[in-house]
Amino acid sequence: MGDYVELVDVKNIRTVQLIGVSDDTLNVLIDGVEARVNGVLQALEYPTVPATDAGDKALLKEQIVKKVTAVAYMAARSPEELPEWIVTWNDEFEEWLEALTRGETVLPSQTPGWHPQTVRVRRLRVLPTVEDE
């Protein structure tokens, strides 16, 4: 049982037939995706991880259910059999996670301790030295 998503949440999506994916596999996927999200939340210094507020949990649940469903579906099918909505759900999760990392979206009831928009990144390009012959 995850912090935000339970097995039944994924299995209750009526449009998805997860034939060929065991409950044990789904639970592993849920745990993995939740760990990834919680890792990002911890890195951003959110005060409460895992989130406990109902609004935070609802937002996280929506994103995690889509990602787990997409990954499970992809694991059970060949790339040629993937419907566009599975690819879209997978991409939407990745875009949401990136937006969270960049500070473009936040959890409804919490403010991260680290604000990416206040950090300036300087890139330095180092070229190798070339010996004269």
pLDDT digits (tens, 9 = 90+) for 20-30: 778 888 889 99
Name the token pair of 18: 């997860």
86 found inside a domain: yes
**Domain that residue 92 falls in:** 7-118
1 found inside a domain: no
2 found inside a domain: no
| CA nearest neighbour of 74 among 14, 12, 25, 5 | 25
Domain count, the chain: 1
Give dist(CA 123, CA 100) in Å, integer.
22
- Whether 117 has a pLDDT exceeding 60, the answer reads no
57 found inside a domain: yes
127 found inside a domain: no
Give yes or no for a contact between 3 and 52, defined as CB atoms under 8 angstroms apart: no
Residues ≥6 apart with Cβ < 8 Å to 5: 30, 33, 34, 61, 64, 65, 68
pLDDT per position as a tens digit, 42-97: 999 999 999 999 999 999 999 999 999 888 888 887 778 888 888 899 999 999 99
pLDDT at residue 121, as a whole number: 45
pLDDT at residue 8, as a whole number: 76
Give dist(CA 1, CA 21) in Å, integer.
17
- Whether 113 has a pLDDT exceeding 90, the answer reads no
